[in-house]
Structure 1
Amino acid sequence: MSTAGKAIKCKAAVLWGVKQPFSIEEVEVAPPKAGEVRIKILATGICRTDDHPVSGAMTTKFPVIVGHEAAGIVESIGEGVTTVKPGDKVIPLFLPQCGKCSSCINPNGNLCVKADVTGKGVLSDGTTRFTCKGKPVYHFMNTSTFSEYTVVEESSVAKIDAAAPPEKVCLIGCGFSTGYGAAVKTAQVTPGSTCAVFGLGGVGLSVIMGCKAAGASRIIGIDLNKDKFDKAKSVGATECINPKDYTKPINEVLSEMTNNSVGYTFEVVGRLETMIDALASCHMSYGTSVVVGAPPSSKMLTYDPMLLFTGRTWKGCVFGGWKSKDDIPKLVSDFISKKFDLDQLITHVLPFNKVKEGFELLYKGESIRSVLLM
């Protein structure tokens, strides 16, 4: 019997408050309204950003269903939807592309005005499509993929190749695309250059893959956890260092290691101090430093403006600079064509009801990407 136009009861991982455990609950998912799409989620990755509502680092309304890195199948569509149809394989987009705002229209912009950067937790009409125990449950980053079904707006979904394996291409919904794009699109790393990547988690490794694809000749991975070094080298890092092994500031260490030739640095940690270290570590007169890691909410940076005055370029990077609806299908096609390997980033594949175990692996530093299968 068709579920189109009807509410669907399904399982979801509900977060009831800050520092609360995930709770697998039965939720009711309303049918899509005009301009909306209901998706059956097939696989979703556990990204560090999904922990921000848990820790309180990101402004969020509770209760909430988090998750934003996924792949699924369109179950039904609302009135007026034209870019996808029931049965299409899709990736939900935490960064929408409405195609009408100034960022979408400009070829150099991608931060669509429909992006939920303030944690409003509702769709455009100001309401949610989730209820649990008679209470409304809020959306997360336009997607809420820790649920067997979710509802997104048409601007927040991209149709992909039907042959794409969901348990792999779900990473293109956030982690891989963010890191890879930071190198090839935002920084525009040049062949023969030297790069330094601060933070060797899943996104940092994707930055390394992007630097390698762009032709960088030297890629230095930086992390406090030496257990990450072998994996970083396997995806393209030429060497790895731990700042704790040195008494000098890391920017001086890198300058001496490279004869003052670091062209590009990437901060993929989300720490204010590391952002400044990364900026100071790129070449003073021509270097580019890219902030990739999501900064903590309501925090201010203090730094020496001379770092910029002398010629460095400091750039921000949301979702690798990609225009989501346009570029995600192309990246999926590139994966199918074996232009990059996502298997290197996936360390654990778990059933959805083991979401807590997946986060424990993340906290312990034992996983790069855990993928939950619905």
Structure 2
Amino acid sequence: MKTKAAILRAVHQPFEIVELDLDGPKEGEVLIKYVAAGLCHSDEHLRHGDIVPRFPIVAGHEGAGIIEEVGPGVTRLKPGDHVICSFLPVCGACRWCSSGKTNICDWGATILDGCMPDGSYRFHLDGEDLGAMCMIGTFAERATVRQESLIKVADDVPLDKAVLIGCGVPTGFGSAVYAAETEVGDTIAIYGVGGIGVNAVQGAALAGAANVVAIDPLANKREMAEQVGATHSCATAEEAHELIQQLTHGVGADKAIVTVGIVDAEVTTNAFHAIRKGGTVVVTGLADPTKNTIELPGALLTLFEKRIQGSLFGSGDPYKDIPRLVNMYQSGQLKLDELITNTYTLDDVNKGYEDLLNGVNIRGVIIHDPNS
């Protein structure tokens, strides 16, 4: 069949709208019609070269849609099911899945190649194979994906809002709840409160933190952070450091979470100095993996027993956390609607990322068929 998609051909090139050939589902695979796709910074990392995938690639890794067809051996899903994508597949059998670390499943090794676990591809253009970002490629109207990348939700869940639960929400929420292990009464500093950081704010607040300090140069992002749980906000790290010292009587923050768009040594150093003895810095944001972006005084790391903790998917479990977060949204505990600043058509994907880079959006969402 044919499908419309936004692809990246190379670093520093814009997203290109093309018509692709799409193979139908094989063993363990399903055909999904996407309803919505989130505009996450990670796809912009591909375009800018912070992370380099196998080009060309169908972009998009935050999505939600409806199953149209299932292949042989599919037991988890049926046509008509509403689903949210997990940008990390969960094979359920590797060393990491079997020990409860599904967020670092071995199948994640191929998500930047965009191929199936067996090395094959489902998107094609003029005889060339195209990968699907994170094995799902949500900037396509339709895709063929593994059933292990999808989590079924109730038909009354609004997919144009719940789409955020595929990446930004669990990554931010889990960074605070799981990776940082926020406890009641904690003081939490969050550096960068865009689509990921604003959900770290929600996670920290829901976990019972007494002080949640949101740090971002953009006033609109600080204002949104305060709407969803930040007790304080600051425009600069220096301002935040002084405030944290006041709030904690000179002790320091219990945890700091780094969710800026591009991590560098400056922000990680600021976070390290903001935390107390025995405190933790959680690094969730991304940067060029070939560059060193953390530079710390080793003596203080040792003498004060501070920790640096990386976090992927918020150190959570897609199969546990996506349904849990959907329930929290439906009960009113978790804010999603408020986070969506603008919606776009697939044709406007470059405008959406222009808005992201200019700080206009907390979160932008592509609606694949605005008339549906």
TM-score by length of 2: 0.92
What does residue 254 of structure 1 align with?
244
Q: Which moved more, 1:305-314 or 1:346-355?
A: 305-314
CA deviations 1:74-114 (Å, max 9, x no partner) are 11122111111111111122111111112112235531110
Q: Once the 2 structures are TM-superposed, how far is the Cα of residue 117 of structure 1 from its aligned partner? A: 6.0
Aligned counterpart in structure 2 of residue 222 of structure 1, from 211, 215, 218: 215
- The separation in 2 between residues aligned to 1:355 and 1:253, in whole angstroms, is 39
What does residue 315 of structure 1 align with?
309
Is the contact between residue 187 and residue 288 of structure 1 (CA under 8 Å) also seen in structure 2?
A: yes
What does residue 284 of structure 2 align with?
292
Is the contact between residue 223 and residue 243 of structure 1 (CA under 8 Å) also seen in structure 2?
A: yes
CA deviations 1:2-50 (Å, max 9, x no partner) are xxxxxx2121112121111111111111011112122110000100001
Residues 135 and 38 of structure 1: is their aligned pair in 2 closer, same or farther, counting only changes over 3 Å? same
Q: Once the 2 structures are TM-superposed, how far is the Cα of residue 256 of structure 1 from its aligned partner? A: 4.6
Gaps of 5+ in 1: 1-7
CA deviations 1:298-324 (Å, max 9, x no partner) are 112332223332222221111112211
Q: Once the 2 structures are TM-superposed, how far is the Cα of residue 135 of structure 1 from its aligned partner? A: 2.3
Aligned counterpart in structure 2 of residue 104 of structure 1, from 97, 109, 113: 97
What does residue 263 of structure 2 align with?
271
- The separation in 2 between residues aligned to 1:118 and 1:302, in whole angstroms, is 28
Residues 239 and 145 of structure 1: is their aligned pair in 2 closer, same or farther, counting only changes over 3 Å? same
Is the contact between residue 308 and residue 314 of structure 1 (CA under 8 Å) also seen in structure 2?
A: no
Q: Percent identity?
A: 36
Is the contact between residue 7 and residue 18 of structure 2 (CA under 8 Å) also seen in structure 1?
A: yes
Q: Once the 2 structures are TM-superposed, how far is the Cα of residue 203 of structure 1 from its aligned partner? A: 0.8
Residues 81 and 225 of structure 1: is their aligned pair in 2 closer, same or farther, counting only changes over 3 Å? same
> Secondary structure at 2:350's aligned position in 1?
helix
Work out whether 1:141 is the aligned partner of 2:134. yes
Q: Once the 2 structures are TM-superposed, how far is the Cα of residue 327 of structure 1 from its aligned partner? A: 2.6
- The separation in 1 between residues aligned to 2:306 and 2:213, in whole angstroms, is 19
Is the contact between residue 155 and residue 325 of structure 1 (CA under 8 Å) also seen in structure 2?
A: no
> Secondary structure at 1:103's aligned position in 2?
helix
Work out whether 1:196 is the aligned partner of 2:189. yes
Work out whether 1:55 is the aligned partner of 2:48. yes
Residues 16 and 125 of structure 1: is their aligned pair in 2 closer, same or farther, counting only changes over 3 Å? same
Is the contact between residue 355 and residue 372 of structure 1 (CA under 8 Å) also seen in structure 2?
A: yes
What does residue 179 of structure 1 align with?
172
Is the contact between residue 197 and residue 265 of structure 1 (CA under 8 Å) also seen in structure 2?
A: yes
> Secondary structure at 1:240's aligned position in 2?
strand
Is the contact between residue 161 and residue 333 of structure 1 (CA under 8 Å) also seen in structure 2?
A: no
> Secondary structure at 2:320's aligned position in 1?
helix
Work out whether 1:326 is the aligned partner of 2:293. no
Is the contact between residue 221 and residue 362 of structure 2 (CA under 8 Å) also seen in structure 1?
A: no
Aligned counterpart in structure 2 of residue 358 of structure 1, from 352, 356, 366: 352
> Secondary structure at 1:163's aligned position in 2?
coil
Residues 215 and 62 of structure 1: is their aligned pair in 2 closer, same or farther, counting only changes over 3 Å? same
Aligned counterpart in structure 2 of residue 73 of structure 1, from 57, 66, 74: 66
Is the contact between residue 32 and residue 77 of structure 1 (CA under 8 Å) also seen in structure 2?
A: yes
Is the contact between residue 161 and residue 329 of structure 1 (CA under 8 Å) also seen in structure 2?
A: no
- The separation in 2 between residues aligned to 1:187 and 1:9, in whole angstroms, is 44
How many residue pairs align between the two structures? Answer: 363
CA deviations 1:269-324 (Å, max 9, x no partner) are 1413212321221112x212211112322112332223332222221111112211
Q: Once the 2 structures are TM-superposed, how far is the Cα of residue 251 of structure 1 from its aligned partner? A: 4.7
**Which amino acid is the alignment partner of residue 296 of structure 1?**
D
Q: Which moved more, 1:333-342 or 1:212-221?
A: 333-342
> Secondary structure at 1:211's aligned position in 2?
helix
**Which amino acid is the alignment partner of residue 359 of structure 1?**
Y
**Which amino acid is the alignment partner of residue 327 of structure 2?**
S
Work out whether 1:13 is the aligned partner of 2:14. no
TM-score by length of 1: 0.92
What does residue 206 of structure 2 align with?
213
Residues 370 and 316 of structure 1: is their aligned pair in 2 closer, same or farther, counting only changes over 3 Å? same
- The separation in 2 between residues aligned to 1:91 and 1:243, in whole angstroms, is 36
